[in-house]
């Protein structure tokens, strides 16, 4: 039996039906099988692998080679979920580099969509990639690749000026052709308002339950991250007997909008 692959068109249809989109990070074949069986819609091959797999202090050290390798590990066995690959730090600093990186992530890695961080600074790049047939996911709010510039992992858009800037960037990314948008660590009210305003589906992380979907770092939701977990995450293994059961619980709670709850949400 043939299974239809989830695409950007699928995600837009889910948004229209108000059906929450479930996403988790994924870096290898074994977890790809497990997450697809649980019904995860979007497998984000995130540059977060630098921190959870490589032990790096941030995502900055992750190379394009790393991203192509891990994207291929996932896409090689994936059947249904959309494979979304992060474009690593400075891989889209110029138009030429962006096209080369997207080509490698899609042609060699098998990604169905690529993700890049930023607003006004990347609009021309988003437009260029989409004109050449590359589906693009934007990323606003907390930008992990810019952590050294912004001075740490902090919530964004908490004042009027910051919220207005995020809204303007979100609308501009949609106009430039972005097929999907990730909002990270922004107030729930702002994220919900943008999700209602945009035609582009919005996936939140630390952005409340009013977005069109949710994403977490797999290792965070399985309680495998050393030290204190992000406040927006939750250890689903705490009440589960197996990894499969924990992922199934996450999927069910995102679908029902039970997760994130008030304790994971910045008002």
User: 132 versus 147: which is more confidently predicted?
Assistant: 132
Which pTM was predicted? 0.95
Residue 267, pLDDT score:
57
Indicate the pLDDT class of residue 2, thresholds 50, 70 and 90: low
- Residue 184 annotated as catalytic: yes
Residue 154, pLDDT score:
77
pLDDT, one tens digit per residue, over 31-48 is 999 999 999 999 999 999
pLDDT, one tens digit per residue, over 124-141 is 999 999 999 999 999 999
Please spell the DSSP secondary structure of the chain, one letter per residue: ---PPP-HHHHHHHHHTT--EEEEE--SHHHHHHHHHHT-SEEEE-TTHHHHTT--SSSTT--HHHHHHHHHHHHTT-SSSEEEEEPPTTTTSSHHHHHHHHHIIIIIT--SEEE---SGGGHHHHHHHHHTT--EEEEEES-GGGHHHHTSS-----SHHHHHHHHHHHHHHHHHT-SEEEEES--HHHHHHHHHH-SS-EEEESS-S-SSEEEE-HHHHTT-SSSPPPTT---GGGG-SSHHHHHHHHHHHHHTT-SS-GGG---
pLDDT, one tens digit per residue, over 150-200 is 655 678 899 999 999 999 999 999 999 999 999 999 999 999 999 999 999
**Selected catalytic residue, list 36, 117, 184, 253:** 184
Residue 144, pLDDT score:
84
């Amino acid at each position: 039996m043939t299974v239809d692959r989830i695409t950007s068109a699928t995600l837009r249809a889910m948004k229209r039906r108000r059906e929450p989109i479930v996403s988790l990070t994924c870096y290898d074949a074994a977890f790809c099988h497990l997450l697809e069986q649980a019904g995860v819609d979007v497998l984000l091959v995130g540059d977060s692998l630098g921190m959870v797999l490589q032990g790096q202090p941030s995502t900055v050290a992750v190379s394009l080679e790393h991203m192509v390798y891990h994207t291929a590990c996932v896409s090689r066995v994936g059947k249904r979920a959309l494979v979304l690959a992060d474009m690593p730090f400075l891989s889209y600093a110029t138009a030429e580099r962006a096209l080369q990186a997207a080509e490698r992530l899609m042609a060699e890695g098998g990604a169905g969509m690529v993700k890049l961080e930023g607003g006004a600074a990347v609009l021309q790049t988003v437009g260029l990639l989409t004109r050449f047939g590359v589906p693009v996911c934007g990323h606003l709010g907390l930008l992990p690749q810019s952590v050294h510039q912004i001075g740490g992992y902090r919530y964004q858009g908490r004042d009027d000026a910051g919220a207005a800037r995020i809204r303007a960037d979100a609308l501009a990314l949609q106009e430039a052709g972005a097929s999907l948008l990730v909002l990270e660590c922004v107030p729930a009210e702002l994220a919900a308002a943008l999700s209602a305003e945009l035609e582009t589906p919005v996936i939140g992380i630390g952005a409340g339950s009013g977005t069109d979907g949710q994403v977490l770092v797999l290792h965070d939701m399985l309680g495998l991250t050393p030290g204190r977990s992000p406040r927006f995450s939750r250890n689903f293994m705490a009440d589960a007997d197996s990894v499969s059961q924990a992922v199934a619980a996450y999927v069910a709670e995102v679908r029902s909008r039970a997760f994130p709850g008030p304790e994971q949400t910045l008002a």
